[in-house]
A and B are shown apart, each in its own frame.
Chain A
Amino acid sequence: MPESLSFGIDPITAHAWNKDRTKLAISPNSPEVHIYHFQRGEWKLEEILKEHDLKVTGIDWAPNTNRIVTCSADRNAYVWTQSEEKKWKPTLVLLRINRAATCVRWSPLENKFAVGSGARLISVCYFEKENDWWVSKHIKKPIRSTVTCLDWHPNDVLLAAGSTDFKVRVFSAYIKEIEDRPVSTSWGSKMPLGLMMAEFSNSTNGAGGWVHSVNFSSSGDRIAWVGHDSSISVADASKGMAVSVIRTDFLPFLACLWVSENRLIAAGHGCCPMLFEVNETGKVQFAGKLDASLKKESSGVSAMKKFQSLDRQARTETNDTSLGTLHQNAITSVCLHTGNKANATKFSTAGVDGLLAIWDFNNLESAMRGLKFN
């Protein structure tokens, strides 16, 4: 059974772990960020970060530099650093956007972060030592609508962005002030800031749905994205930008995460994390549901109860007020817990039901016989 932590009745809009997974930052659908610390076998609320005026839409915790970045609907982002007294101190970042920020991600080397917004642009922010403040550069063209999700390529330069204009784009976020020229990758060789390296439409007929989440694989050659048309797609730059799509039978996914070079997790409105696999030809296939929990059977389910229920309410189901999955409402975010994108053993999901669950592949393996985990 996956480990689950309940944080009350408020939905968890975003969550992030620190490096050794002893601390957790979550936002309970409010302008606050709660930091929890795992001490003596239980999670205790350590601090509440109150700086944003409107709902916090994204949190990311840089593992090595131990900084938290939060972005909010109030068009701001703050970088939080821990002082000697172990209190978190915010630094305002001027994003120069005139609409809400929607998502934020530290780059792999944690020297910059990218913020997506409703202003149809991505702000790539880096720290300028001379003036001791965070500066932002914009990536605007050709984004036509709100940027909903971001993910960095392992080379620290390329950035994938999904948007409500039904497209997924890979941009270069190369900041010449703080880094050297990047070497060429399968996405291209020249990478000036703001250059669009690739663009994918979320549907073959030019329709599809909003892109909810985008994720680079550990090698950086593949990106996966999920859309509101219940589809999941994988594009492979090493195979000439070939795209493989499945339009699934499930409710739309809101988050996706690679757990190995060929396997990814997707979770969303269906309240259940699903496993997908990419085979040798590059085709993505459904590999199984990861939530094997059965509906809670109350101790007195008997023939008598069924008849009573049938007589009074004309139905044989005795308990249909709770879902058959661990999460009782949509899963909004998925994070790596143990391992890395090339080989993950645990991942965490947080949902609208205020629950945070940690899923362990080792336990799930025995529950799902017939699936090979290499």
Chain B
Amino acid sequence: MAKNTSSSAFRKIDVDQYNEDNYKEDDCGESQSPPVGPDEKEITNFINQGKNIEALKTVLRNAPISSRNQMVKDAALNVVMQVLLSVKSSQIEEAVNALDRDHLDILMKYIYRGFETPSEGSSGQLLAWHEKVHAVAGVGCIVRVLTDKKRV
């Protein structure tokens, strides 16, 4: 094919698209994750009252991982960032120990998403979180951030 015209454009055709049996991501069933994300007012209340660990648990429990709505996810990300940056460095370890494995996975996803859009001093704080979560959940947690199709 290429010899005739010296064109290798044929290599860019996606021959699989015409096959009906393709794996489609939408076929995975919807799970029970709430599509609206955490309630911002509730979280702000928790932070103001100093109940940071409670706030963290609530945002992770209500993380909109199954939602397709990017705005919902971005709003949730902002709330989570507020919580993560409000916790003092000395309290991070305590907060991490209060979480179970599934929530640690979700937390690690948010940490990496937080790295994507750094603000003043946020990356340093996120690195401290990363270190503590890694100490508890190991590399498996980070692998799951990379492989999980349900993005945060």
Contact = CB atoms under 8 A, between A and B. Distances in A.
Interface of A: 120, 140, 143-145, 164-166, 201, 203-210, 228-230, 247-252
Contact of A229 (B21, B137, B143): B143
B150 A205 contact: yes
Interface stretch (B23-31, B49-57, B82-90): B23-31
A256 to B, nearest CB: 15
Interface in B98-114: 101, 105
A228 B143 contact: yes
Nearest to A146: B23
B147 interface: yes
- Between B24, B137, B148, the greatest number of chain A beta carbons within 10 A of the residue's beta carbon is seen for B148
Interface string B41-73: 000000000000000000000000110000000
B138 A250 contact: yes
B140 interface: yes
A228 B22 contact: no
Given A144-B21, A206-B29, A206-B31, A251 B150 contact: no
B141 A205 contact: no
A166 B148 CA distance: 11
Contact of B141 (A144, A165, A203, A249): A249
B139 A251 contact: yes
A249 B104 CA distance: 11
Contacts of A203: 148
Contacts of B137: 249
B143 A230 contact: yes
25 contacts: A120-B21, A140-B21, A143-B21, A144-B23, A145-B23, A165-B23, A203-B148, A204-B31, A205-B66, A205-B148, A205-B150, A206-B28, A206-B31, A206-B149, A207-B28, A207-B147, A210-B147, A228-B147, A229-B143, A230-B140, A230-B143, A247-B140, A247-B144, A248-B138, A250-B139
Contacts, number: 67
B134 to A, nearest CB: 9
Contacts of B148: 203, 205, 207-209, 229
A307 to B, nearest CB: 26
Given A143-B21, A228-B143, A249-B137, 6 more contacts: A144-B27, A204-B31, A205-B31, A205-B33, A249-B140, A252-B143
User: Which DSSP category, helix, strand, loop or mixed, fits chain A's interface?
Assistant: loop
A164 B25 CA distance: 12
Contact of A251 (B65, B140, B149): B140
Nearest to B31: A205
A207 B105 CA distance: 13
Interface in B128-146: 137-141, 143-144
A145 B27 CA distance: 13
A241 to B, nearest CB: 17
A144 B143 contact: no
A166 B28 CA distance: 10
Closest 8 CB pairs of A and B: A249-B138, A206-B28, A230-B140, A144-B23, A209-B147, A207-B149, A249-B140, A145-B23
A232 to B, nearest CB: 10
Contacts of B28: 166, 201, 206-207
Nearest to A270: B139
Contacts of A144: 21-24, 27
Contacts of A165: 23
Contact of B147 (A204, A229, A250): A229
